[in-house]
Amino acid sequence: MFERRPRVSGLLREIRRDLAYGSGLRLRHGRRDIGVQGQMVPVIAFLLVAVVVADFVVLGQLTEQERGRDPETVAVRRPAERPAGGADAAGGAPAAPSAAPAAPPAVAPLIRMREPNLFVVAHRPLSSAVVARAARIKGIRAIERADAAEVVLDGKRVQTLGVDPSTFRAYTPRPTARSDKLWQNVAAGEIAVSFVLGNDGGMELGRTVTGGGHALRVGAYATMGMGAVDAVVSRQTARRLGIPEDNALVVSAPGADSARLRAALLKVLPKGSQVVTVNPVLAASPRKVWPASAFMNAAQTRTVLAAAASKLGRPYVWGAEGPDAFDCSGLVQWAYAQAGVRVPRVTHQQFVSGPQVPLDQAQPGDLLFWRHDPTNPGYVSHVAIYWGDGKMLHAPRTGDVVKLVPVTTKNFAGAVRVSPHFAALAR
């Protein structure tokens, strides 16, 4: 972690040395992707290490959120037990002695929480000098360095961060940050995936996923509270996976104007760097009545609804953007694009694409949102298009299809009337 200090020399001592950068990156940013270079997949070259198969102990149940309990839900790895006397499971002769595996790095306890406000990713490593300049920007309290890449697991494009579990945990939602066992197991080589990727994307707890001919076990549902991040591994694991080093930053600047801070960061970062807001909030408009010109016209609304309806029955696929398969936000983006309206790619950014309206005042073409994630109850994780007459059109989850169903209000987050102007600004 990089904290603001009075002396630049103090800052520089805390920054890790720059290491070689060996591969490209592709970041989903409103689904505008940064170009990549790679050898094995279209977006990034990487190798996944095999992880020892082990049992999982589930600490907390997903249903506990419904009963009003602490929403912490993680899965931790229990080391596989060896038979007594060293014999194998089939009762054979004792196995030959082998070197004990190296102990994973110790994980420091959680001392304080930090609010993540901006996420930065670049094409190349961000040098110590660049990070020091960024840390001097007014309003920035702390900066956490990380490694970022889009990797492919079981055919799914997964935005993955390599992090230091001891320091990065402070930037995650409280239930995730407080789980010592979760971070200990990330340090030991497990992968933690977001609840949305696990539940909607079909990447279940304990499942072994493959990529590049190698296997990696899903060790936890642990939402990081950042829409641009689907999964987290330790930086040691990231090295083995071939993920570029030091090309990402998580910036804490509570109380600062995110738009101005983003502009200031872009001035000191390498050309082509991307800066996105973490859980953006649409500033309240001083006007109480929005003019009709701020929204789509009737013809555009009909086009959106017709486009979405034309995809009824198409399968849900995590990360899919059409035209033959979709995830929930991919369907929204595609349908609006048919009407010439550009909306962001991910759900939490679509949530700030216009003013919120009461559900009983929703009109056809409005967007409906839900907070289904028990590991981060405040995070907006699902979206649908309001059809009218109490019905909605959406792509639910892996194993399901695009469908027209009655609106449900459990975990409902709000209804949004899309303003093309605000939608184009959302990052």
Of these ranges, 188-202, 280-294, 394-408, the one predicted with the greatest mean pLDDT is 394-408
β 214-221/208-211 pair status: antiparallel
Same domain (yes/no): 223, 315: no
Element holding 218 (H helix, E strand): strand 214-221
pLDDT of residue 207: 87
Confidence check: pLDDT of 226 > 90:
no
pLDDT of residue 9: 34
Domain count, the chain: 2
Mean pLDDT of 172-195: 89
* DSSP structure class, residue 181: H
Same domain (yes/no): 367, 272: no
pLDDT of residue 251: 95
pLDDT of residue 1: 52
pLDDT band per the 50, 70, 90 thresholds, residue 215: confident
The answer to the question of residue 44 being in a domain is yes
Same domain (yes/no): 257, 132: yes
pLDDT of residue 71: 33
The answer to the question of residue 82 being in a domain is no
Task: Name the one residue in this structure whose structure tokens are 């990089």.
Answer: 2
The answer to the question of residue 141 being in a domain is yes
Residue 211 vs residue 268, higher pLDDT = 268
pLDDT band per the 50, 70, 90 thresholds, residue 213: low
Mean pLDDT of 233-250: 91
- For 415, the token pair is 């209804």
Phi/psi region, residue 313 (left: phi>0; alpha: psi -120 to 50; beta: rest), is left
- Boundary residue ending a domain (248, 277, 306): 277
pLDDT digits (tens, 9 = 90+) for 80-135: 333 333 333 333 344 344 445 566 678 999 999 999 999 999 999 999 999 999 99
The answer to the question of residue 48 being in a domain is yes
Same domain (yes/no): 45, 165: yes
Residue 75 vs residue 237, higher pLDDT = 237
Q: Calculate the CA 71 to chain-centre distance.
A: 18
Same domain (yes/no): 301, 236: no
Q: Which domain holds residue 53?
A: 2-77+105-277
Are the C-beta atoms of residues 63 and 85 closer than 8 Å to each other?
Answer: no
The CATH code of the domain that includes 368 is 3.90.1720.10
How far apart CA 29 and CA 32 sit, in angstroms, is 5
Of these ranges, 43-47, 56-60, 92-96, 379-383, the one predicted with the greatest mean pLDDT is 379-383
CB-neighbour burial class of residue 409 (10 A; exposed 0-12, middle 13-18, buried 19+): exposed
Among 216-220, 306-310, 394-398, which stretch is predicted with the lowest mean pLDDT?
A: 216-220
- Boundary residue ending a domain (217, 244, 277): 277
Confidence check: pLDDT of 25 > 90:
no
- Boundary residue ending a domain (277, 309, 342): 277
